[in-house]
Amino acid sequence: MASLTADRVIANAERVRGEIAAAAERAGRAPADVDLLAAVKYVEAEDLGALAEAGITLLGENRAQALEAKRAATGDRFRWHFIGQLQSRKVKQILPLVELIHSVASDSALRQLERHATPATEVLVEVNLAGEEGKAGIAPDALPDFLARCPVRVVGLMTMPPFAEDAEESRPHFAALRRLAEEHDLRHLSMGTSQDYVVAVEEGATIVRIGSVLFA
């Protein structure tokens, strides 16, 4: 990715925030209830300052090693979440670096959380609503048992619906995740990316994971 300019990121962030606010208001929600998380998998550490200038301080990384390097390079300038597929052998490395892991979805991850988490650890459970083969996530009907076995506090759910050009195709998946969260009294919904975050906010997202539209 080419070096980012603060002016470009500031303009993009202003537009995204405006769209989030409008979507929240259409749904009868407060815009402040939605966190804008910048997904920075393809952003170099030296370019992250542009996000800070745009007022974005919540970042998400997909890879444990990159998370560690970017966190070391930026100190306490940002808050970090882990948003990539979670490998159980990386849990110990990731936990001290982040406020929240979005993608807990395996028994092996639960075992590592039991070994390495602290009483303050909070996580999201990833749900594979469409039953896509090869995609991580707990099946909806397996969620109650998985939540009961999780050794740390689960504060919400995450999903990544099948890719679609039309954001409206994601709406049923987002609505289904919201209903699951309501059934289990879970507050947070991490759903919606650059192509469908407006629909996600309308359906109850509390965290939207925004990448390419911030950096275009």
Beta bridge partners of 172: none
Residue 195: exposure state from Cβ atoms within 10 A (0-12, 13-18, ≥19): middle
Q: Share the mean pLDDT of the chain.
A: 96
- 23-58: burial string, b at 16+ Cβ within 10 Å, e else: bbeeeebeeeebbbbbbbeebeeebbebbeebebeb
pTM as predicted: 0.96
Q: What gap in Å lies between CA 63 and CA 84, rounded to an integer?
A: 6
Q: What is the pLDDT of residues 165-212, one digit of tens each?
A: 999 999 999 999 999 999 999 999 999 999 999 999 999 999 999 999
Q: Quick one: residue 185, left, alpha or beta (phi over 0 = left, psi -120 to 50 = alpha)?
A: left
The pLDDT of residue 1? 46
Residue 134 pLDDT > 80: yes
Domain ranges of the chain: 6-215
User: Any idea what DSSP says for residue 103?
Assistant: E
Q: What is the pLDDT of residues 21-70, one digit of tens each?
A: 999 999 999 999 999 999 999 999 999 999 999 999 999 999 999 999 99
The pLDDT of residue 5? 83
Select from 3.40.50.300, 3.30.2140.20, 3.20.20.10, 3.40.50.1000 the CATH code of 6-215. Answer: 3.20.20.10
Q: What gap in Å lies between CA 137 and CA 215, rounded to an integer?
A: 28
